[in-house]
């Protein structure tokens, strides 16, 4: 899942990054993600706020990207606001699931050239999103939903890394 973008297919032909990104999410994964996302609709800001709060607390090295915020404590105003922004982008990604690389192009450029976030941190935030979903929706966040969401967030991370180099 986190290997280099080009791999050999069974026939020995090189597959493009795009092909891998697009074929990695099965039809079932997409339906599962869409259904679960619809269930959590309305709580996006809470989820985003919690995920970022946890990321800053459990992985303090991520604070280095937010030195311009006045308050980095869990649930603070800038954390909540940014949580909303990130989750709105997530909702957008869900709607563009069939073409994540094209759909997230400008976001990728933002992360690559302006924010310059080390892409390893995408995995870190994704893990924290999954933990939050688990605390808030313990009965709905089944292992099947977990694997589909993990794959989706990994696909989003790959699309965001597209313009880095």
Partner 1 sequence: MVVWTDFERATIQDIFSKIDYGVVGQAAISRCLIVYPWTQRYFGSFGNLYNAAAITSNPKVAAHGKVVMEGLEKAVKNLENIKATFAELSTLHSEKLQVDPDNFKLLGDCLTIVVAAQLGKNFTPEVHAAFQKFLAVVVSSLRRQYY
How many residues bind partner 1 (CB under 8 A)? The answer is: 21
Structure token pair of residue 14: 């090189």
Q: Minimum CB separation from partner 1 for residue 133, in Å?
A: 9
Q: How far apart are CA 113 and CA 115, in angstroms?
A: 6
Q: Of 85, 115, 120, 147, which lies in the binding site for partner 1, with binding defined by CB under 8 A?
A: 147
* Rama region for 116: left / alpha / beta (φ>0; ψ in -120 to 50; rest): left
Is there binding between residue 150 and partner 1 (CB under 8 A)?
yes
Measured between its terminal Cα atoms, the distance across the chain in Å is: 19
Q: How far apart are CA 158 and CA 82, in angstroms?
A: 21
Is there binding between residue 23 and partner 1 (CB under 8 A)?
no
Structure token pair of residue 138: 């313990």
C-alpha dihedral sign at 88, 62, 161, 130: negative
Q: Minimum CB separation from partner 1 for residue 47, in Å?
A: 13
Is there binding between residue 78 and partner 1 (CB under 8 A)?
no
Q: Of 21, 53, 108, 161, which lies in the binding site for partner 1, with binding defined by CB under 8 A?
A: 53
Q: Of 62, 141, 154, 162, which lies in the binding site for partner 1, with binding defined by CB under 8 A?
A: 141
Cβ atoms of residues 136 and 46 within 8 Å: yes
Residues in the site for partner 1, rule: CB under 8 A?
50, 53-54, 56-58, 74, 127, 130-132, 134-136, 138, 141, 143-144, 146-147, 150
């Amino acid at each position: 899942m986190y290997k280099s973008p080009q791999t050999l297919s069974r026939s020995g032909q090189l597959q493009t990054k795009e092909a891998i990104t697009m074929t990695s999410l099965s039809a079932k994964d997409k339906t599962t993600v869409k259904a679960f996302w619809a269930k959590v609709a309305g709580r996006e800001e809470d989820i985003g706020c919690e995920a970022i709060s946890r990321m800053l607390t459990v992985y303090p090295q991520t604070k280095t990207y937010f030195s311009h915020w006045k308050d980095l404590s869990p649930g603070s105003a800038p954390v909540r606001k940014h949580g909303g922004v990130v989750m709105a982008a997530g909702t957008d990604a869900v709607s563009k699931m069939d073409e994540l690389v094209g759909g997230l192009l400008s976001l990728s450029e933002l992360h690559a050239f302006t924010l310059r976030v080390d892409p390893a941190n995408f995995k870190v935030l994704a893990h924290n999103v999954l933990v939050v979903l688990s605390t808030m929706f313990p009965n709905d966040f089944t292992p099947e939903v977990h694997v589909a969401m993990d794959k989706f967030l990994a696909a989003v991370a790959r699309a965001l890394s597209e313009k880095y180099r």
